[in-house]
Chain A
Amino acid sequence: MDVVSLGECMALAFPPEPVGLAESPLLQLDIAGAESNLCIGLSRLGFRARFISRVGEDPFGRRIRQVLEQEGVDTQALITDPDAPTGVFFREHLPDGQRRVYYYRKGSAASRLSPEDLHPDFFRGARVVHLTGITPALSPSCAAACGRAVELARQVGAVISFDPNYRPRLWEPGAARAVLLPLMAQANILLMGHEDVQAVFGTENIEEALRRGCDMGASVVVLKRGEHGACALADDGTEHRGQIIEVPAHPPTQVVDPVGAGDGFDAGFLAGWLQGWKLEECLQLGARVGAAAVSVMGDYAGYPRERISASLPEA
Chain B
Amino acid sequence: MSNEAQVVNYRSIKPASACRYDAVALGEVMLRLDPYDLPTASAREMRLFQGGGETNVACGLSYTFGLRAAVLTALVDDPIGRNIQNQLRAAGVDTSKIIWFNTRNDGSRFSTDQKGTLMNGINFTYAGKGVIPSDTLYYRAHSAARQLEAGDFDWDGLFGQEGARVFSTGGIYALISPTSSALALEAMQKAAEYGVYVAADLNYRSKVEPNKARAREINRQLAPYIGFLVGNDSDLSDALGYSTRPTSEETSFEEWLEGYQETVRRVAADYPNISLIGTQWRAATNADVISWGAVLYETSADTFYTAPVRRDIPIADRTGGGDSFASGVLAALLKEKSLEEAVQWGGSHGILVQETPGDISMIDEKAVLAEVKRLKAGGGVKAQR
Contacts and interface: CB of A to CB of B under 8 A. Distances in A.
B180 to A, nearest CB: 19
Nearest to B120: A104
B79 A29 contact: no
B86 A23 contact: yes
A169 B113 CA distance: 8
A82 to B, nearest CB: 14
Given A26-B48, A103-B116, A21 B122 contact: no
A16 interface: yes
Contacts of A30: 44
Interface in A20-75: 20-30, 58-60, 62-63, 66
A91 B42 CA distance: 20
Interface in A123-172: 169-171
A88 B44 CA distance: 15
Interface stretch (B135-143, B215-223, B243-251): B135-143
Interface in B286-334: none
B47 interface: yes
B225 to A, nearest CB: 34
B119 interface: yes
Contacts of B47: 25-26
Nearest to B41: A59
Nearest to B84: A22
Most buried by B among A20, A63, A103: A103
Classify the interface of chain B: helix, strand, loop or mixed: mixed
A27 B32 CA distance: 11
A107 interface: yes
B79 A90 contact: yes
B80 A62 contact: no
A85 interface: yes
A85 B139 contact: yes
B46 A29 contact: yes
A21 B83 contact: yes
Given A85-B139, A88-B139, A102 B78 contact: yes
B66 interface: no
A16 B48 CA distance: 13
Nearest to B48: A25
Interface string A100-112: 1011111100000
A23 B79 CA distance: 8
Interface residues of B, number: 31
Contact of B33 (A27, A58, A63, A105): A27
A106 B124 contact: no
A12 B209 CA distance: 29
B33 A59 contact: no
B82 A22 contact: yes
A21 B42 contact: no
B83 A28 contact: no
A92 interface: yes
A63 B38 CA distance: 13
Contacts of B135: 59
Contacts of A279: none
A13 interface: yes
Contacts of B82: 21-22
Nearest to B118: A106
A59 B43 CA distance: 10
A171 B83 CA distance: 26
A145 B20 CA distance: 57
Interface in B260-302: none
Given A58-B137, A88-B139, A104 B48 contact: no
B137 A85 contact: yes
A160 to B, nearest CB: 26
A115 B80 CA distance: 34
A25 B48 CA distance: 5
B48 to A, nearest CB: 6
Interface string B103-123: 000000000001111010010
Nearest to A169: B114
B39 interface: yes
Question: Across chains A and B, which 7 residue pairs bring their CB atoms closest together, nearest first?
Answer: A59-B41, A21-B79, A22-B82, A103-B116, A59-B40, A22-B79, A169-B114
10 contacts: A28-B44, A29-B46, A30-B44, A60-B41, A88-B139, A100-B79, A102-B78, A104-B80, A106-B142, A107-B141
Given A23-B86, A66-B41, A102-B78, 5 more contacts: A13-B46, A16-B45, A26-B46, A106-B119, A106-B142
